[in-house]
Amino acid sequence: MIAAYQAVSGRQVAPVAEFQLHGGGRAPDGECGALYAACQIVPEAAARLRAGFAAEAGATRCRPLKRERRFPCTDCVGLAAELLAGSTASPPPASPLSSSS
């Protein structure tokens, strides 16, 4: 998640090796590693990312996703990336016609 984001955005967030330690349910509180990484990229949108992820996947923690929901890692990464893309989209520039003169 971090490596792909950094490659696409050109923005250096953190060393990828630091986040590799959080995969496979090893993120804090057992959170999905892809979701955890997305929340670290845009911490101001973390609550919205978690809510969107839970609404779509049915959980935010790795163990329930794998055992109860049968939501594979590839789907988790895809969903986290999709939610992240929606959270980091830049707003369109203001039109010069909309500014007051």
* 40 in any annotated domain: yes
pTM exceeds 0.85, yes or no? no
* 96 in any annotated domain: no
Nearest to 76 by CA among 43, 35, 41, 47: 35
What is the three-class DSSP state of 61? Answer: strand
Higher pLDDT, 49 or 90: 49
Residues 25 and 33: beta-carbon distance below 8 Å = yes
* 20 in any annotated domain: yes
81: which 2 tokens? Answer: 């990336």
**Residue 72 belongs to domain spanning:** 15-89
| Tens digits of residue pLDDT in 54-100 | 999 999 999 999 888 789 999 999 999 999 999 876 443 333 443 44
Residues 80 and 31: beta-carbon distance below 8 Å = no
* 70 in any annotated domain: yes
* 74 in any annotated domain: yes
Residues 57 and 65: beta-carbon distance below 8 Å = yes
* 78 in any annotated domain: yes
In the chain, the number of structural domains is 1
* 8 in any annotated domain: no
